[in-house]
Chain A
Amino acid sequence: MAAMTREETEALIQEVLEIYPEKAKKDRAKHLAVNDQGLEKSSKCITSNRKSLPGVMTIRGCAYAGSRGVVWGPVKDMIHISHGPVGCGQYSRAGRRNYYIGTTGINTFVTMDFTSDFQEKDIVFGGDKKLAKLIGEIETLFPLNKGITVQSECPIGLIGDDIEAVSKKAAKEIGKDVVPIRCEGFRGVSQSLGHHIANDSIRDWVLGKRDGDDSFETTPYDVAVIGDYNIGGDAWSSRTLLEEMGLRVVAQWSGDGTLSEMELTPKVKLNLVHCYRSINYITRHMEEKYGIPWIEYNFFGPTKIAESLRTIAAQFDDKIKEGAERVIERYKADYEAVIAKYRPRLEGKKVMLFVGGLRPRHTIGAYEDLGMEVIGTGYEFGHNDDYDRTLKEMGNATLLYDDVTSYEFEEFVKKMKPDLIGSGIKEKYVFQKMGIPFRQMHSWDYSGPYHGYDGFAIFARDMDMTLNNPCWKQIQAPWKKPAANAEDAQRAAGGL
């Protein structure tokens, strides 16, 4: 389908909104917009970070998911207790594919689920005693843990348990950090507040640990990779590039990260922020308290990688600047070969995205490197500042949808007919059954890494094997195919 004009896109939004009752229509209209590259501020065209409309199918998660799943979960040498009933932790266990190095159950614990498994009596009489006991058991069974976090599920906030007191007492007893986090699922409108709460808990309980301790030897080239959760190994394929250009990566937040890395972060010279949405709060804090500047970067696709490497290098001396050029030069043959191979197979294909923190805008460059075009994008839980950063990345008159409902998403897809959709697991099978190639872009559909030059090769291969898979030609039911001749038609009708 040819690119839509501004009027056509606007008409499409109106048409899709038509089905809603008056009040719902008014509300949802604010979350759907036609992109205008001329705008500086997204607040002029789109509203975000508002409560989802009751009655629609939204794709969001809860604050507990934002803290336990996203920010804290990947910190590998700590044990994260899902405090409350068993389901929240068990159903989200190991789903995010944050890779890490270590021996699970001995010195690393990311894919395990620790829960206080609340029963009726814990709700009635309170769960503080159980929590204290649980921390003791953890210490006995897993003595190599470096610390514990208490991730509150909904009931904790409702029954008024004092997890702070228990944590403080337990921390003294076991001589390790025990961090209480008030990330009950009902707080806020999406997982986004959970990120913020998790950031604040790191600020209050972890970051200041090594203030005044200068025993850590620093170099002028120390950086921290912030907001890379190492999905399928993303942080590793990013880290190698930074190290090759001469920087020293002191900490990874939080994919394959450790507690001591987090404690050392205030010693670095520069914070490199990948997922702005989930972690910008802590970098802003570090800028204010420790004077560490931060910059955002994007390691999806060679164009953005080169741009980012140069921006990062510009913060350092000539040695690093040369290092950046050397890295770009070194991988040139590789990524040019990837583009030469896949671009002819993907050229001109249209993509629609609906994902979380950074991908709705960060992956656009990688698609464009392959000659593809993103015609619609949106965030599950983005805020204004995310859309601000998106306006310039998206083409004019493309569609923006915030906290899209499953109904709207399906209708948009039917009308805009993209060649590929990138979204989550809940959307995957619906669209595949509609016959549209789909990539699950939260955990890279069991693939990855997608960051860095090495990741780009995998990204390109995955997009190609999804989009050009012969199965899409088989998707139409035989009786719906236009019959080639009369005999076929009769057979299809069951007459032969």
Chain B
Amino acid sequence: MPEVMFRKDHNDKLIFYVAKKDLEETIASLEFESPEKWGGEIVLSDGQRYYLEPLPAQPKLPITLRVKRV
């Protein structure tokens, strides 16, 4: 259950960052990205998959959240 910081980079791409693991990847897809549901399965651009318990609203980025490995 790594702690992940989600942020937008300068090109407005969603970035997945885990300080402990030096992992800085763009998020290729996020399952739910609507105003009332945000999260679900995350696919990184290098193919790794994680799962984020969906949030009831779109969070203010950047934000640090716990995710699960899939």
Contact = CB atoms under 8 A, between A and B. Distances in A.
Interface of A: 40-41, 43, 49, 196, 281, 284, 287-288, 291, 295, 383-385, 388
Interface in B27-70: 45-46, 60, 62-64
A385 B22 CA distance: 7
Contacts of B5: 284, 288
Interface residues of B, number: 15
Given A383-B22, A384-B22, 7 more contacts: A40-B45, A41-B46, A49-B22, A284-B17, A288-B5, A288-B7, A288-B62
Nearest to B63: A288
A285 to B, nearest CB: 9
Contacts of A383: 22
A312 to B, nearest CB: 12
Contacts of B10: 295
Contact of A287 (B23, B45, B62): B62
Contacts of B64: 288
Contacts of B24: 384-385, 388
Contacts of A196: 19
B7 A287 contact: yes
Interface string B6-30: 0100100000010100111100000
Nearest to B26: A40
B24 to A, nearest CB: 5
A284 B22 contact: no
Nearest to B25: A41
A291 B22 CA distance: 22
B67 to A, nearest CB: 16
Contacts, number: 28
A49 B23 CA distance: 12
Nearest to B62: A288
Nearest to B21: A384
Contact of A281 (B19, B23, B25, B45): B19
A295 B46 CA distance: 24
A257 B46 CA distance: 40
28 contacts: A40-B45, A41-B25, A41-B46, A43-B46, A49-B22, A196-B19, A281-B19, A284-B5, A284-B7, A284-B17, A284-B19, A284-B62, A287-B7, A287-B62, A288-B5, A288-B7, A288-B62, A288-B63, A288-B64, A291-B60, A295-B10, A383-B22, A384-B22, A384-B23, A384-B24, A385-B22, A385-B24, A388-B24
Contacts of A384: 22-24
B58 to A, nearest CB: 15
Most buried by B among A41, A281, A288, A385: A288
A196 B17 CA distance: 15
Contacts of B7: 284, 287-288
Contacts of B62: 284, 287-288
Nearest to B23: A384
A41 B45 CA distance: 10
Nearest to B60: A291
Contacts of B46: 41, 43
B45 to A, nearest CB: 8
B12 to A, nearest CB: 12
A49 to B, nearest CB: 6
Nearest to B64: A288
Contacts of A49: 22
Nearest to A384: B22
A384 B24 CA distance: 8
A189 to B, nearest CB: 12
A201 to B, nearest CB: 15
B60 to A, nearest CB: 8
Nearest to A315: B10
Contacts of A284: 5, 7, 17, 19, 62
A384 B18 CA distance: 12
B15 to A, nearest CB: 10
Contacts of B60: 291
Nearest to B6: A288
Nearest to A200: B19
Nearest to B10: A295
A197 to B, nearest CB: 12
A58 B14 CA distance: 37
